[in-house]
Amino acid sequence: MSNASYYALEECKGSSCNITNIDLGQYSQNNGYVHRGHEYTGTRNYRVKACNEAGCANFAQSTSVTTVQISNNIKSALIYTGYGNGEDEGKIDWSFNQPNLDTINKLDSAGVNRLIIAPTSHLSDSYYSMQSNSSGKLLDCTPDETPLSASENFNGLGVNAGNGFQKDVNDILALVKASNNTSNMKVWISTPAVKPDDNYARYIPTNTQIKSWLIWLKAAFINDWDLIDGIYMFDENFPVCKDAGNPMLEYFANIRKDLMSDASLQKLNFVWAPDRSANYKEGEVATTGPYSKVEELITGGLDSSAAWDLTPILNDFSFTPLFDYIFMQPNVYTQEDWAVGQSSEWDGLLAKISSWVSSQSIYSTPSVKIKLGIDMEIDRIYGLDPEKQQRYETYEDNFSNLVNSRPMLFYFHYKHNQAGCSFDSLVDKVSDFYTTGSSSPSCYSNAGVLLPVPTNLALQK
């Protein structure tokens, strides 16, 4: 195919590979993980396919393939859909209108080339979620109540309805197509929220649920599939259960396996922005609670506990990485009760993350195939709280030099009518940071009032 835009691998099953003049790449599978370049038991054959928007055809000339495009020049913005902090707050509007188009054009003009579309919370079961199923492994380790069984399907309630996630994504896609789009903007779509059952227990989605969701994903956005470039992992926490091993790692791996096994999905990046990415010291293990440090996941583990038996496979050069991008989410801005008034503590943690992302290594352990990026954080409270302003400015101080050389993600609140910085003012801050590496210390309220920056000498650096 002379006009191929990407290449993919198709697994040959049965007699499907018994076709003359077809070059086959041999790839191996062991313990459910697909590997490249090493021979293990359970070899499987894959046929190279050349693909474009019209579909895929056999490609016999070469077994060299590139199915996912990875870049340092990623400027992404997290766009929330749904109901704010709950359905009672009202529906976020992304319908086609001039203000919404202006927002997309402003982000585009700042070089934003990825929009991450995600629901705001776990709260709306009828909006976009996977219902917890007790046949899966516990995600939250030790729930207080006996779990209830649930339907083993992706809970698509609402996705086809007038106010569902599918409509909201299609509205944003329409805005992208109508925008100037000078940055070649693509979209990363969030996984569904994992909805707790009636006893507040959460289970990782079963393989049936994941496959059902991916079938829905392809069908829902088939007309704009050229704009869909990746999958964003909604769940940010990474619990490690002492008795149950590592259920989230299994969830991540099951999604990655399904993305690799379907030729039409192999072009998609798999992206994560884990919570509390650097709040532990080298060698320290989170023994007092279920949440452990994400740097162990990336580097293959710094301790020898049984919970990390699977992690060394993630970054061996011969293995397919679990994620294509991991954006380090500092939570210096969002953790209001941490290091209050101690700007040196904020600066130290952010400087550590900056060093990791700059060197693409954590504690001198290289991230071989996973691209490490920065997660910027701001919200409407910036206009109301002097310490929030100080904390955000520390982000700009530490990360501005990485804007054009390392992957970036920007969390900046959802559209709202509350006090503090308006959504439009926060969009301006995103635009300014991606354009110049800094932004004005002020913002406007929804009423158009300039919010002054209170002076607090105790917080000055």
Q: Give CA 177 to chain center in angstroms.
A: 22
Give yes or no for a contact between 439 and 429, defined as CB atoms under 8 angstroms apart.
Answer: yes
Closest CA to 87 of 122, 116, 129: 122
Q: How far apart are CA 303 and CA 300, in angstroms?
A: 9
| Residues 191 and 216 reside in one and the same domain | yes
| Residues 325 and 305 reside in one and the same domain | yes
Q: What are the per-10-residue average pLDDT scores of the chain (461 residues)?
A: 56 44 33 30 49 62 45 93 72 94 98 95 70 65 52 57 81 97 95 73 80 91 95 80 60 85 90 71 42 50 40 42 86 83 88 90 73 94 93 96 96 91 96 94 92 50 36
Q: How far apart are CA 180 and CA 390, in angstroms?
A: 34
| Residues 76 and 148 reside in one and the same domain | yes
pTM assigned to the model: 0.78
| Residues 233 and 366 reside in one and the same domain | yes
* Whole-number pLDDT of residue 304: 36
Residue that is last in its domain, among 25, 45, 67: 67
Residue that is last in its domain, among 20, 50, 67: 67
CA 48 vs CA 19, 38, 256, 269: distances in Å: 13, 18, 19, 19
Please report where in the chains the tokens 């913005």 appear, as a residue.
Answer: 77
Instruction: Give me the amino acid identity at 191.
Output: T
* Whole-number pLDDT of residue 294: 56
Residues contacting residue 185 through CB under 8 Å, at least 6 positions apart: 104, 107, 108, 112, 113, 114, 115, 176, 179, 227
- 166 is in which domain, residue-wise? 68-459
| Residues 35 and 119 reside in one and the same domain | no
| Residues 279 and 418 reside in one and the same domain | yes
| Residues 276 and 129 reside in one and the same domain | yes
Q: How far apart are CA 33 and CA 10, in angstroms?
A: 16
| Residues 253 and 382 reside in one and the same domain | yes
Domain count, the chain: 2
| Residues 44 and 189 reside in one and the same domain | no
Closest CA to 316 of 361, 360, 367, 269: 367
Which SS3 state, helix, strand or coil, does residue 271 take? strand
| Residues 254 and 309 reside in one and the same domain | yes
CATH of the domain at 328: 3.20.20.60
Residues contacting residue 110 through CB under 8 Å, at least 6 positions apart: 75, 430, 431, 432, 434, 435
Q: Give CA 366 to chain center in angstroms.
A: 21
